[in-house]
Amino acid sequence: MTITQTKAEFLTESLIEVLNNDWKVLAIENGRNFYHYLTMEIGRKYIKVWQSTCYDGVVRENGKSCFMFVDKETGACYKPASCKAPAKGIRFFIESLVDSPEVVDQYGAFLYRR
């Protein structure tokens, strides 16, 4: 963690690293050469997590989509309403997702309300 990095940024970065490794291992174990790859972009108020596809180890940026938003102040996670804004209502906190990354699936179904 650098001096200028907030807690939410550090936790989001570590969650992305764990998920990318898990999804790559899962794809290799199942004999697939296609898996999802997450990256993050830090904005003024939110950390935007992008999802891209990775095919044969090459990340394809042309088809990326918004995976989730993380509030930089509180660490609250939101489902995206569009690529520019989150939907209303906190779905998770980043601390709980880091504690149990198995909740996060590749398709974002964990962000829907039940």
Sequence ranges of the domains in the chain: 7-102
Q: How far apart are CA 29 and CA 88, in angstroms?
A: 37
What angle (nearest 5°) sits at the alpha carbon of residue 112, between those of residues 78 and 96?
Answer: 55
pTM, to two decimals: 0.88
Q: Average pLDDT of the chain? A: 90
Q: Work out the percent of the chain whose per-residue pLDDT is above 70.
A: 96
Q: How far apart are CA 37 and CA 77, in angstroms?
A: 18
What angle (nearest 5°) sits at the alpha carbon of residue 83, between those of residues 66 and 71?
Answer: 75
Instruction: Give the confidence band of 2 by pLDDT, cuts at 50, 70, 90.
Output: low
Three-class secondary structure of residue 33 per DSSP: coil
